[in-house]
Amino acid sequence: MNYKAILAEFLGTGLLVAAVIGSGIMASNLSGDLLVALIANGISTVLVLGILILTLGPVSGGHFNPVVSIALAIDQRFKPVRVAPYIVAQFAGAFAGAVLANVMFGSAAIQVSSKGMVSEGAAIGEVVATAGLVFIILNLIKTKRAELIPVAVPAWIGTAYFFTSSTSFANPAATVGRIFSDSFAGIGPQSVPSFVIAQLLGAALGIVLAKVFAKSKK
């Protein structure tokens, strides 16, 4: 077992969630304007995601997301035996990141979000956001342009922040982690099951699209 890779997934997912939640709290503290808060939150997420993929990618692949690990394993780009340890590290990191963000801003370390986001539109948004994420990663790998992933993935997530009604969670670990912060970037427990199901459906769609377009290029 590659413990450095597992640690990298824990650290990367934790810092990603800490950045998402922390920037949301900071933006809310500085401005009561939801648009300003969303822009600040989106910019912070995009930048930290790109940096984490660049720095920790050589160690673990820079997944930081269970659907990415699963999709890569299904596409035979990642050993299936490594999926479970990665997912455990990702969920643990997401929880730790939420706690870290709460503590940094002087709040209770463990909270439960009261923010409800359940709607058909938000679920569809998660399908779209996750499908695009998985498709981009697999397509770039299949077309031997994986070096563009640190740019393309943050660009997609940043764009989807504003064109999906869910603001592009696209990550089951981050979704669960965000339960534990009752802040701008939090999500209520009641919304999580529909979000995670939508993300898994989106991942499946992304895998199919990547296979279809790979075949069409032959």
**CATH code of the domain containing 210:** 1.20.1080.10
DSSP tag of 180: G
Q: Which residues contact 58 (CB under 8 A, 6 or more apart)?
A: none
pLDDT at res. 216: 59
- Residues 26-65, buried b or exposed e (16+ Cβ, 10 A)? bbbeeeeeeeebbebbbebbbebbbbbbeebbebbbbbbb
Q: How confident is the model at residue 217 (pLDDT cuts 50, 70, 90)?
A: low
pLDDT digits (tens, 9 = 90+) for 133-179: 999 999 999 999 999 999 999 999 999 999 999 999 999 999 999 99
Q: Please say if the pLDDT value at position 117 is more than 80.
A: no
Range of the domain at 67: 3-216
**pLDDT mean over 32-54:** 94
Neighbours of 158 (CB within 10 A): 17
Total domains in the chain come to: 1
Give me 130's structure tokens: 């996750």
pLDDT at res. 31: 84
pTM assigned to the model: 0.94
Mean pLDDT of the chain: 95
Q: How confident is the model at residue 126 (pLDDT cuts 50, 70, 90)?
A: very high
pLDDT digits (tens, 9 = 90+) for 72-102: 999 999 999 999 999 999 999 999 999 999 9
Characterise 168 by phi-psi region: left (phi > 0), alpha (psi -120 to 50), beta (else): left
